[in-house]
Each structure stands twice: as structure tokens, then as C-alpha cells.
Amino acid sequence: MTTRPAPRTAQAPAPPKWHRTALRAAPWLARLGFLTPNASERAALALRDAAPALRSAAEVVFLIPLVGRDAVQDWPGTVARLHATLAQFQRQTDPRWRAVICGQDAPDDLPDDPRIAWLPFTEEVDGNDKWAKLAALTAPGSAHLQTPAYAMTFDADDLASPDLVAEMLTRAAPGGYLVERGYVWNVGTGAVGAARPQSLTEPGAKAFWKLCGSCAALRIDPAAGPEGPALLQAMSAHEHRMFPHLAALAGQRLTPLRAASVVYLLNHGDNFGARRGRVGFKARYVDRFALSPSERAAFDAAFPGLIQSPTDGP
């Protein structure tokens, strides 16, 4: 009789930065026993050793964990934000995408779109169940991960730019993609800041992937072997700053997307980061790197008024 592993209730811890740097530079240190890789790094090294020949990605699959009704203060607002997320997928200039939502409580009015699927979550989890839902969404062998694709975990309150899918599938990056440029939208104040890599003129700037988890798409092809899907699941156990490290260690370095590709919604009332006291820095960041009037006009055109007041309904 096999024992089912306990569901995740927290992010897997990241090894020290020196360890990550050394392991990427010299993976053989792990084989000789000088470094001890963690579980996700072992999955990355297994993919590196397998070096599978991947078919061209046919689509982008967005994998969305949805918080349960009992875990939020404002369920109508949660549903409204999910609808905004899905509406931005439906506005994609390239229609080759699918979205899979995993949660306990399916909204009654999900869009009637064959590209949008619901994955019921029935596990009993004592604590934050986001990581268990991500594990379910990324499980190797899942029916929704059977085609060669770019697979991207995506929060149910973030927004994709209309050209995100088109850029991915047109450029056909061999390993996957990383969102370096994006936006942080302080819903509470209406202010929007630009996330971008730091530079000599903006040493305080932050690349988007350092601020938000909806930031990486890994190229997978289940027909090429189990190692790619296994790495996708291992990556989803970590916070987003681990994504580039694991992909590079696996030999699937992530290519930065050219455009500002994703909006991170901040301070909407049910951010879990706020419950852990992690919103203050990001709110100050938005004010420091607020969009210029011309940038704000471009932002408003790409991301129209999709977030409604909960009193208006989703």
C-alpha cells in the first residue's frame, strides 16, 4: 500500500545564493558530492542529463490556482478579478492558449469558452493550499499537459498583455520565457508603476519576476519524456525568484520577453502578501516608478477597465 504525500502548505525553501551560483556554474559539483542539490535542483539536473528533443510549442497553457471562498473576505471581488484575468486571455491577439483553473469553488458564470477548463480541488489542507493546487495543476501526466506547450503558472488576479501569447509562439524560445518588464497596479490608489530591470539610471528598479509569481513560462513536451513536466512541478513549489535558476540549471534558460507583459494587482483587499505584511515596499515602489502620462495612456489601452467594484458584480 502506497502512502500519498502530504499536500504542500508552504513554499519550498530556496538554497543560498552562493549555492545556486556555484551549481549553475559547475553542475558536476553535485555529482562529486561537493554540493547537495535540493529536490527541485535534482529535477533540473535530471532534465539537463536527459536533454530531450522538444517539439515546437503549439500553445500556451496558463495554470491558475484559485483561492477558496472560505479563505477570502470578499468572494465577489475575487470572482471579479478572476473574470478580469480570463478576459485578458480572451483578448489575446493569438488564440492558441488554454487556461486551467484549480479550486474548491467554481464560479457559476465562468466564460463559455472551450479553452477555459476547471480542475476541482478536493484535498483537505491545513494551511495555505495554493502550493497544493499548483502541485495538482502541474502534475506530470495531467490531461491538460499533453501537448508541446509553454506552461505558465498564473495568479487569478494578474493580467496578461494582449500580445503575450503571440510573442511567445512567434519567437519560439527554446527553453521558455521570463517576464522582466511589466506593471504593478496599486488597486487601492489607482497608481501604476513600471517593473523593469535595474540600470545605472534606475538602480532601485526591479525586474517583474522579482515582484510577482506570474512571470515564467517553461517549454514542455510530455512526449519527450517525464523530466520536463517534473521540473515544471518542482518549480511551482518555489517562490518566483527560483524560476530562472532552475530553468538555467536544467539547460532551458528562460528568454526575457520584449514587451511589458503582465500586470500584478496590489492592495485589492485580499492579497495574501498583505496578510504577511509584504505590501508596504511594493506600494512605495509603485509611487517611485509611477508611469508617465504617455506610459499610462498605453497601459490603459492594453489593460482596459476590467476590474469592477464588487458591488457591481463580476
Sketch the domain layout of the chain as residue ranges. 37-312
Please tell me the distance from the alpha carbon of residue 51 to that of residue 250, in angstroms, as a whole number: 9
Sheet holding 159-160, edge to edge: 159-160, 262-266, 182-186, 192-195
Q: Please, what is the average pLDDT of the chain?
A: 90
The 10s digit of each residue's pLDDT in 163-221 is 999 999 999 999 999 999 999 999 888 899 999 999 999 999 999 999 999 999 999 99
Give residue 11's pLDDT band: very low, low, confident or very high (50, 70, 90).
confident
pLDDT at 115: 98
pLDDT at 215: 97
Provide the 8-state DSSP code for 222: G
pLDDT at 58: 97
Give residue 127's pLDDT band: very low, low, confident or very high (50, 70, 90).
confident
pTM for the model stands at 0.91
Range with lowest mean pLDDT among 32-36, 99-103, 155-159, 267-271: 267-271
Q: 37-312 architecture in CATH?
A: Alpha-Beta Complex (3.90)
Q: Please count the other Cβ atoms lying within 10 Å of the Cβ belonging to residue 262.
A: 28
Residue 75 has pLDDT above 70, yes or no: yes
The 10s digit of each residue's pLDDT in 78-124 is 999 999 999 999 999 999 999 999 999 999 899 999 999 999 999 98
